[in-house]
Structure 1
Amino acid sequence: MPTRRAETSQESRRLLVEAAATAFADRGYRQTTVAEVAELAGISRGSIPWHFGNKEGLLLAVVEHAFELVSRNTAEPRLPGPEGLRDLTDQSAAFVRQPITKLMISLLADAMDEDSPVHDRYVELHRAMRAHIAAWAEQPYDGCGLPEGVTPDDVGVVVLGASMGIHQQWRLAPDRVDLDRAFDSLQRILLAAVQSRA
């Protein structure tokens, strides 16, 4: 059984990760100080080096938390055909509304740098998301087929890129971009493409 001290330590760690996720999403990693994270979490700033070593360690913990959330959504195999496509795009639309998605997009600029501590984790995250989408595209289904020369991996790249682009546009101008309409349009475009090759 965990001791009371261990439970308190785990709770402090959780609060710091959540506070850092919020701060990094709102202000960016480089602009956020550990003091601001500690204040937002309501915990002594000395707890950050105790739990994470330094600010970079905190960042890695935040990204790992985000990765775990995404991994849960990509663990299930995709259903084939139109039903699977609807599920896939509905899942994407729901995911981009989550606060953790804003954080992931906010940290993307840092992840672009090969020396970034989160670069490799982002590479793996995007690989898993593309594979999740490709798993739908590679399943045979009566009445559907990919356009000539297009592979399931190609579909993974395009759909992930479209989903990220829709999310960015919606975050920038939520009053001008209808998220549901955008993902419904993406679904219709994909379905038309695969059915045209049947």
Structure 2
Amino acid sequence: MHSARQRRIDEIGDESRRRILDAAEELFAEQGFERTSFVDIAERSGISRGSIPWHFKNKDGLLMAVLSRAMDRFMDPARYQQSLPSLATLLQDYESWVLSGNSALLFMVLTEAMHSTGAVHSQYQEFLAQHRQGLEEWLRAQRPDGVDPTAAAERERAVAAALTGAVIGMHLQALIDPGHVNLDAALQSLAGLVDENLTGLWAKPATDKTRHKTSKRTS
């Protein structure tokens, strides 16, 4: 009896959380983060205002939960556990999220994070770190045998940061200037460039001395 009652309590809690997230996602997209209050969310969701901080602590925590859930609809890590996806597939999934209509949440959170040193700032740092880590894992899974792991990890970390920045930059351009930015073509172009140069990622880079000599010969 006790376990059945607890399951029912958990189900009610999960349903309340889902309704709060649904309402918050709609309202953030319609009227922005700043203009949306807990009262608005409570009215839209049918859940009492006092229950919202119980589930999400504060408005910043709610915003991060909304963003994470929105991305997981299209890029849930569990989807990629069976087999290693291509970068083109990952970017197609990202584009699907962008086209869902709520991807501007990413920049809404970014704006909050850049003007804060509190919870939303640290949460956004963690959010970006998780996505860089996912790309690092994708790169590591394709690392050739016999490569020095320490040097390889440094290059993979750098490439993951570059890819994250490139994708977010393309996303922002497509939102602001959709008439002149073909997001699908831009993302697939990025995937093609990475595929073409992936084997060179783990090649030993030239030393400063070697680069200097090469520069002298060609000048």
Scaled to the shorter chain, the TM-score interval is 0.7 to 0.9
**How many residues end up aligned between the 2 structures?**
186
Measure, in 1, the Cα distance between the counterparts of 2:137 and 2:181: 29
* 1:14 partner amino acid: R
What is the TM-score when the length of structure 1 is the normalising length?
0.74
Question: Deviation string for 1:151-187 (max 9, x for gaps)?
Answer: 1111111111111111111222333322211111111
Measure, in 1, the Cα distance between the counterparts of 2:128 and 2:23: 24
Decide which structure has greater helix share: 2
Change in CA separation of 1:189 and 1:20 when aligned onto 2, cut-off 3 Å: same
What is the TM-score when the length of structure 2 is the normalising length?
0.68
CA root-mean-square deviation: 3.4
Measure, in 2, the Cα distance between the counterparts of 1:104 and 1:64: 12
Instruction: Note the residue ranges of structure 2 that are not aligned, 5 or more in a row.
Output: 146-151, 204-219
Question: Deviation string for 1:51-105 (max 9, x for gaps)?
Answer: 31599624413413533565663454673xxx62223322332333344532222
Q: Helix, strand or coil for the counterpart of 2:17?
A: helix
1:33 to 24, 37, 40: 37
* 1:152 partner amino acid: E
Identity rate, percent = 25
Contact (CA 8 Å) 2:24, 2:66: kept in 1 or not?
no
Contact (CA 8 Å) 2:20, 2:42: kept in 1 or not?
yes
Pair member with larger Rg: 2
The 4+ residue runs of structure 1 with deviation greater than 4 A are 2-10, 53-56, 68-72, 195-198
Measure, in 2, the Cα distance between the counterparts of 1:158 and 1:105: 18
Instruction: Note the residue ranges of structure 1 that are not aligned, 5 or more in a row.
Output: 143-147
Change in CA separation of 1:36 and 1:73 when aligned onto 2, cut-off 3 Å: same
Q: Helix, strand or coil for the counterpart of 1:30?
A: coil
Tell me the equivalent position of 1:57: 58
